[in-house]
Amino acid sequence: MTHELIENTFFQYFGNDVLNRADDAAVFSANRGDIAFTTDSFVVKPLFFPGGDIGKLSVCGTVNDLVVCGAEPRYISCGFIIEEGFDKSDLVKVIMSMAYWANEAGVKVVTGDTKVVGRGAADRLFINTSGIGLFKSDLRLGVGKINEGDKVIITGTIGEHGIAVLSKREGLEFESRIMSDCAPLNKMLMNVLDETGGIKFMRDPTRGGLATTLNEIVICGNFGILLEEEKIPISDSVRAACALLGLDPLYIANEGKALLIADASCEKKVLELLRKHAYGRNAETIGEITKDNVNMVRLKTRYGVTRMVDMLSGEPMPRIC
């Protein structure tokens, strides 16, 4: 019965020409050449949080993973693992949210799977989304393209997602108006890629935050990064919540921000394009690539002192690849 409901709900909200063929696999054309392929499982708790829910997160997360590679996100799969007894209206809400955000992002949910497990065998709902993106040109991004003097740009204020989720977690609830920044960045970032030639690298600083992502980048390269603390956009409310909780906003997860490394010559153009977009209004250049201090991320504080920004040891590292 549950399966019938799910099936109907899926087709109702995700209906598109590829999905409706009702085969074991979705079939579509990828004539344009290279494709990008990514996967992510979502286990966020609570399922609904200020500014989003697990469904929105699962679509945006996979869309953003594709676009930061320079690929245009096109097709998404979704795999649901549902705990027996999970509220059906919550499930419908999640599916509607996925459908809404897939439509917003311009991607199609083309194949899916649901498994219902016994009570206690899963915590309500887990979602896996895998995604396929197509490359529009031969342009490829990569750490190998980064050079001394390149600018490090963030598309907006940091820390909102992590703080929004924490604020609703059992045992830790606190009053806050902070909303998750969860958003599909593909339209904004594809526009920047199309209109400027100097983007070297992009990455979405999710789990582990800006500091972790920057450390992952310098580890792979032959350069350092010097940040300017004053330039890093952080809202007053995130700053206050972090002070209250004893957290460093540099390590808090974002779900609607991208880090861009761009040739200095196109810095202005990149910022201009980003700031025109709703998801990039607070874009800022926050640092630059240095030849010295290889493999290190350093931060020039507002008092002129420079300190190291470490990989948070003990922080769960999300990426296996």
Positions 13 through 42 that interact with its own copies (CB under 8 A): 19, 22-31, 33-42
Q: Which one among 220, 247, 264, 312 touches its own copies, defined by CB under 8 A?
A: 220
Cβ nearer to its own copies, comparing 22 with 278: 22
CB of 8 to its own copies, least distance (A): 9
CB of 49 to its own copies, least distance (A): 17
CB of 55 to its own copies, least distance (A): 15
Q: How many CB atoms lie within 10 A of CB 154?
A: 27
CB of 70 to its own copies, least distance (A): 9
Measured CA distances, 269 to 20, 101, 191, 194, 204 (Å): 42, 28, 11, 12, 20
CB of 194 to its own copies, least distance (A): 19
One character per residue 237-276, x = contact with its own copies (rule: CB under 8 A): ----------------------------------------
The phi, psi pair for 95, rounded to 5°, reads -65, -40
Residue 295 has what DSSP assignment? Answer: T
* 172 near its own copies (CB under 8 A): no
Contact set for its own copies, span 59-118 (CB under 8 A): 65-66, 68-69, 71, 75, 77-81, 110-118
* 204 near its own copies (CB under 8 A): yes
Q: Which two tokens stand for residue 117?
A: 């497990």
* 209 near its own copies (CB under 8 A): no
Specify burial of residue 319 (Cβ count, 10 A radius: 0-12, 13-18, 19+): exposed
**SS3 of 52, please?**
strand
The phi, psi pair for 317, rounded to 5°, reads -90, 115
Alpha-carbon gap, residue 35 to 12, rounded angstroms: 28
* 321 near its own copies (CB under 8 A): yes
Q: Which distant-in-sequence residues (6+ apart) come within 8 Å of 212 by Cβ? A: 205, 251, 311, 312, 315, 317
